[in-house]
Amino acid sequence: MPTATSNARPTLAAAPREVVGKKVAMLRRAGKLPAVVYGNGVASSAVTIDAHDFELLRRKAGPNALVDLSVDGKKSDPVLIHDVQVHPVTHRPLHVDLFLVRMTEELTVDVPLVAVGESSAIANDGGTLLHAIESVRIKALPDHLPQSIEYSIVTLVDFDTAIHVRDLTIPSDVTLLTDLDEIVAKVQAPRVEVEEPTAAEVEAAEGEAAEGEEQAEGETAEDGSSEGGSES
């Protein structure tokens, strides 16, 4: 099972894998999860990890958490869980990409945004919170990557106010790459329900329109008769 090391990083064990292609299905049936380990300047290698251990790890570790990976019992190396392919129905992992990192080289990743607090425009005016973007792109050293960035929606007091990227609180050891003018969130006003006319109202309106047309035709006919009489 994944454990924590002295530097608080979780660990994961892997084994070399020779099975590839469609045959990996039998690995999954045996509780093994196929994965690939790769990195800049490093040849990629196919491995398997315990599916149950990986699920436990995903529940505890964030999207940008560093993991110490040991392959075949050898010295562990820090990796990022770069991509996870999941089953479209069961949502169970099918394949994992593990990116080998160098602790002295900065990484560029997307960090999820988390809204906290309460907006009076939502609580009192019935508005709906709109997330214009779900994450921001940042650059930082591997052990300085934030798991998420929180922002308060207390400032959203009406439907015109918006929170922009420039309003976010970014750690000093992190470089923000997303455009500062991008909108993060705002509150949408409630929709005004337009009542559909009833069948009786539609019928009455059509009747009034028909009466109006008949009256107009009668007036036109009378005008035509009087004009003809004056000429004779």
Q: What is the pLDDT along the chain (232 residues), one digit of tens a residue?
A: 444 333 578 999 999 999 888 889 999 999 999 999 999 888 899 999 999 999 999 888 877 889 999 999 999 999 999 889 999 999 899 999 999 999 999 999 999 999 999 999 999 999 999 999 999 999 999 999 999 999 999 999 999 999 999 999 999 999 999 999 999 999 999 987 666 667 766 666 666 666 656 565 555 555 555 555 544 4
Task: Take residue 196 and report the two structure tokens written for it.
Answer: 């559909």
Contacts of 25 (CB under 8 A, 6+ apart): none
Counting Cα atoms < 13 Å in the Cβ hemisphere of 92 gives 11
- The pLDDT score that the predictor gives to residue 206 is 65
- The pLDDT score that the predictor gives to residue 59 is 84
Contacts of 152 (CB under 8 A, 6+ apart): 115, 116, 117
- The pLDDT score that the predictor gives to residue 4 is 39
What phi and psi values does residue 49 have, to the nearest 5 degrees? -130, 160
Query: The tokens 């290698």 sit on which residue?
Result: 45
* CA–CA separation, 210 and 216 (whole Å): 10
- The pLDDT score that the predictor gives to residue 163 is 98
Q: How far is CA 1 from the centre of its chain?
A: 30
Contacts of 136 (CB under 8 A, 6+ apart): 110, 111, 113, 149, 165, 168, 176, 177, 178
Task: Take residue 88 and report the two structure tokens written for it.
Answer: 């479209």
- The pLDDT score that the predictor gives to residue 209 is 62
Pairing of β 107-116 and β 149-152? parallel
SS3 89: coil
**Residues comprising the chain, all counted:** 232
- The pLDDT score that the predictor gives to residue 192 is 72
* CA–CA separation, 4 and 110 (whole Å): 25
Task: Take residue 155 and report the two structure tokens written for it.
Answer: 């400032």
Task: Take residue 136 and report the two structure tokens written for it.
Answer: 């921001």
Query: The tokens 């990083």 sit on which residue?
Result: 9
* CA–CA separation, 147 and 61 (whole Å): 9
